[in-house]
Chains A and B, each alone.
Chain A
């Protein structure tokens, strides 16, 4: 069987460990631990890069330079900010439900990290290639809405609570068009498995076959990740930082971390579903994967720093009155297309 670069490294590693430990179960446990650490390493390194990238892209679009003082080209700025956040005073609101309030930031990180288990990073490099892959992603991703609600509720602050209600409204209405746009991809592939979806795109990327689904998916992904123009969960002048209003220091950093982990997973999903995953000429799959993910993230940032934010009612009517009917129409058209295709061949 043909394997990509990442998979060969993993095989070499597990052979090496096997020769040292000399037991199958021991090797598997150690490999599982390494894989878990790898996921967290990928997320934290990516977040550090993404925060830096976000600020630089934002600066460049606004004719500024962005952070460029700490370290060469300012790449250590995020690290410095993290240290600052960690050393800050930990303020707990007097009336908050302490336990709920305290565990929310950590809980929010769980679904954000969990979805990485089923992403195909390269040829064969997928932690768990479950046969309901994409379904799993959607199910786990929509859990984060619970934490937003929990955080807002436990803070005992009206702004937090309004913010978390908004988060719920927004995420529920973005998930439905998103699910229907993904369904179109699944209909063509005939499988929910992530590796099947990627290998189905070895000839033609789904962005060519499903342009409408791609656009709907991108818009609903921006809503799902709470980015401008749909960052209604926050709003300095009306509900301050929404559900995060009462959080500070390290706890707030965890919210921030999962926000960017979600952004990364939105980009990975876009690449996997519509842009051919790790497929690409010459370079090993994983490089193509990284390049594509960064291009998609750049597009997300480009969109955020271009448009002003919408009102909540505008966002809701966009998703229920425009995106949902379009996604349904797309499914009908795809269904007919698939039927004709099968009838012809």
Chain B
């Protein structure tokens, strides 16, 4: 019958009216980012890192600036792991290139900042900060 579709439409909208709402109340509620999300800061696991610099070599944009220190046992340590996130493409090449899976993203999407130099950070220093925090 003509006009039945109108009633069907009204039925659908009233069902949606009472349905659970999809809105995420952003600052209070946050969606968890998926496993494959590339973004935020790089987290360096210093125990796994062998300081081979493969990551910075893989970087197409020269966003990684690493300083390696060699101790008395001829063991290589990462001294500074500077990530210039302003240059970063978030291409994930660094993470893929790492032979020991020592770096990963912290999957934080609230990375906007007021000053340009806040975009550059040192992952090693961040680790120290976290340590003193705990």
Contact = CB atoms under 8 A, between A and B. Distances in A.
Contact of B14 (A59, A62, A302): A302
Interface in A51-108: 57, 59-65
B132 interface: no
B13 A302 contact: yes
Nearest to A60: B17
Interface string B1-17: 00000100110111011
A306 B10 contact: yes
Given A306-B10, A307-B6, A57 B22 contact: no
A65 B13 CA distance: 15
Interface residues of A, number: 13
Contacts of A64: 21-23
Contacts of A306: 9-10, 12-13
Contacts of B10: 302-303, 306
A60 B17 CA distance: 5
B19 interface: yes
A63 B13 contact: no
A62 B9 contact: no
| CB-CB nearest 6 A-B residue pairs | A306-B13, A65-B23, A63-B22, A60-B17, A306-B9, A61-B13
Interface in A10-65: 57, 59-65
A305 B13 contact: yes
Given A63-B19, A64-B23, A307-B6, 19 more contacts: A57-B17, A59-B21, A60-B18, A60-B21, A61-B13, A61-B17, A63-B16, A64-B21, A64-B22, A65-B23, A65-B25, A302-B10, A302-B13, A302-B14, A305-B13, A306-B9, A306-B12, A306-B13, A307-B9
Nearest to B13: A306
Nearest to B6: A307
Contacts of A63: 16, 19-23
Contacts of B12: 306
Contacts of B9: 306-307
A306 B13 CA distance: 6
A86 to B, nearest CB: 28
Nearest to A229: B6
Contacts of A59: 21
Interface in A262-318: 302-303, 305-307
Contacts of B17: 57, 60-61, 302
Interface in B10-41: 10, 12-14, 16-23, 25
Nearest to B24: A65
Contacts of A57: 17
